[in-house]
Amino acid sequence: MKPELDLPLWLDQTIVQRQNQLKTDFIDLFEQLGNSVRSEELSHFFTNSKGKKISKGNQLLGFPYLVLDLIRDFDLETGCNIRFVSWFGHGLYCCVFLGKTKLLPDQSFVENGFKLGRNDLPWDLSAQVDWIKNQAADSKSSHKQDDARLWIKEIALVGDRDTCLEILCKELKKILQANG
């Protein structure tokens, strides 16, 4: 810790205003993404869908984050969840959790750029990001077919809000199509 306080930073209102505006922008983006999919589509993908929820936090390794969860069944045996995470300073990630009994073809996730994450820490985003960044380009892992799975993908956003929403909607549609 430095002995002096960074008082110019503390008094710079524009930094806080910019960050708050960006949080508001991502919440709006996540609301639009959530509204782009009907509840029936989520129920078709996973029959026990509990709907959609946006959450936010301030301290994921010292950085704020926003989460959009779709389906929201976190049971390690039978659950399923689709999660979009905007992690300030790190990027935007899409995670698809599949409980042990939720079988979907791995190939559809591999073809769409997902990597198999650590199934022992399905909700630890920082561990998942470290894991996929340190893995070889091959997404195959020692996971058995009857293990819970967490598929994770970093999504690059470019352009204006409409373009970003279009990118996220396409990613979501690809996931929902994995169930046929």
Q: What are the C-alpha distances in Å from 90 to residues 43, 114, 167?
A: 31, 17, 18
Give the whole-angstrom CA distance, residue 29 versus residue 164.
Answer: 8
Tens-digit pLDDT profile for residues 4-54: 999 999 999 999 999 999 999 999 999 999 999 988 888 888 888 888 999
- Is pLDDT above 60 for 179? yes
Which residues, other chains included, contact 160 with Cβ-Cβ below 8 Å and sequence gap of 6+? none
Of the candidates 92, 97, 82, the one whose C-alpha atom is nearest the C-alpha of residue 36 is: 82
Among positive and negative, which fits the CA dihedral 170, 171, 172, 177? positive
State pLDDT tens for residues 143-176. Answer: 555 678 899 999 999 989 999 999 999 999 999 9
Q: How far apart are CA 147 and CA 149, in angstroms?
A: 6
Instruction: Decide: 102 and 136 in contact? Cβ < 8 Å.
Output: no
At 89-144, the pLDDT tens digits run: 999 999 999 998 887 778 889 999 999 998 788 888 888 888 888 875 444 545 55
Q: Is 83 exposed, middle or buried (0-12, 13-18, 19+ CB in 10 A)?
A: buried
Q: In angstroms, rounded to a whole number, what is the distance separating the alpha carbons of residues 116 and 131?
A: 9
CB-based burial label for 107 (10 Å; 0-12, 13-18, 19+)? exposed
